[in-house]
Structure 1
Amino acid sequence: MRKLSAFLSLSLDGCFADAAGGVDWAHSDDPEFQRFVADNARGGGALLMGRVTYEMMAAWWPSEAARQMSPVVAEGMNRMPKYLVSHRPRNPEWAHTVQLAGALPEAVRALKGEAGPDIAILGSGSLVSQLAGAGLIDEFQFVVCPLVLAGGRKVFEGLEDALALQLTESRSFASGQVFLRYRPA
């Protein structure tokens, strides 16, 4: 069975997006962190994204500006298989994208059961909350950024039951960002 991971940047107050829906605050020019991001992009796998995250990434990663700014990450993002979650039918134009059909938990459960690479949810906080509540996320990866947004979207909005996690890895960067990897306890 394929493993499903969630990868999100968070503020110290637990937000994955600011009050306007922006995520620019999570960007870092720290060279060590940039190598970490590039190494993750080289690793392969597949991506699962909600519509908002998908549209934001599909507008950036295929662009010439993205290829110039982050060539390794752009190559990885454009090469990986991508699964789009949206209630409305879409015609995804970003290479290697398939829209999932049906109810989210069932569609993801079926996807995990298929042959293929492991899957990572990028951003898409509402997907993380729904799939965590359904017990479908095998690993949580958070990059905690050294700022308090004082408003925004919280990552586990709508989660009805407590979710106990066990820390399996941590790493800090000169920028003050901290990478944390958890698995459900």
Structure 2
Amino acid sequence: MGKLIAYNFTTLNGYFKGVDNYISWHRHGEEENGFAADNLEAKATLLFGRVTYEMMAGFWPTSIAADNMPEVAKGMNEAEKIVFSTTLENVDWENTTLVKGDLIEAVRKLKAIPGKVMTILGSGSIITQLAEARLIDEYQFMIDPVAIGKGTPSFQGLTQKLDLKLTAHRVFESGVVLLSYEAS
């Protein structure tokens, strides 16, 4: 059976993005970049919704990303990626597959592959839908020591209680705290 991890960064007041997809409040220090690069070495398949895909595909293949975060950029570009969208017609970021069908059914099929590890990056609506379907095995939250006035809360639209068990934590020098939970 495969494993599905949801990874997101969030503000202290629970927003994973601000108005107009604003995420510049997230601290991308050397230590956080090292954590991201290490995770990419695990060769998990990356899952995105359309909005996150377009943001990531517009940044990681650029020279700015390669110059500032070379290991992370290399890992992001080389990783197998799946974008779930009903509106995109095609994708052009290397190693990316577009899935236009049913999200829940597609992820169930992917999880049926023995040893398959997948990580959802960003993509709040995807996380909420898969959490509701009880398909996420682990949640990783990078909590930034910042609060913003408006934005999109983590798990927006969740209709049922999610019980989680803390399995690990890490404090970065920047003040960012990583909390890892398993679904119970």
Relative to the length of structure 2, the TM-score reads: 0.95
Aligned to 1:125: 124
Aligned to 2:177: 178
Matched letter for residue 68 of structure 1: D
* Superposed CA RMSD: 1.3
Paired-residue identity, %: 43
Name the SS of the counterpart of 1:24 in structure 2.
coil
1:95-120 Cα shifts (integer Å, max 9, x gaps): 11111132111111112223564100
**Contact persistence 1:101–1:107 (CA under 8 A):** no
Aligned to 1:5: 5
Extract unaligned runs of 5+ from structure 1: none
Comparing 3-12 with 86-95, greater Cα deviation is found at 86-95
**Contact persistence 1:143–1:179 (CA under 8 A):** yes
Compared CA separation, residues 101 and 115, structure 1 to 2 (3 A): farther
- Alpha-carbon distance between aligned partners in 1 of 2:96 and 2:4, rounded to the nearest angstrom: 17
**C-alpha displacement of 1:27:** 3.0
- Alpha-carbon distance between aligned partners in 1 of 2:113 and 2:40, rounded to the nearest angstrom: 22
Aligned to 2:52: 53
1:122-151 Cα shifts (integer Å, max 9, x gaps): 000111011000001010000000011121
**C-alpha displacement of 1:24:** 1.1
Comparing 36-45 with 65-74, greater Cα deviation is found at 36-45
**Contact persistence 2:27–2:176 (CA under 8 A):** no
- Alpha-carbon distance between aligned partners in 1 of 2:167 and 2:94, rounded to the nearest angstrom: 33
Aligned to 2:153: 154
Name the SS of the counterpart of 1:25 in structure 2.
coil
Name the SS of the counterpart of 2:91 in structure 1.
coil
Name the SS of the counterpart of 2:127 in structure 1.
helix
- Alpha-carbon distance between aligned partners in 2 of 1:89 and 1:124, rounded to the nearest angstrom: 15
**C-alpha displacement of 1:34:** 2.4
- Alpha-carbon distance between aligned partners in 2 of 1:166 and 1:35, rounded to the nearest angstrom: 25
Extract unaligned runs of 5+ from structure 2: none
1:54-103 Cα shifts (integer Å, max 9, x gaps): 00111111112211111111111111110001112421100111111321
Matched letter for residue 132 of structure 1: A
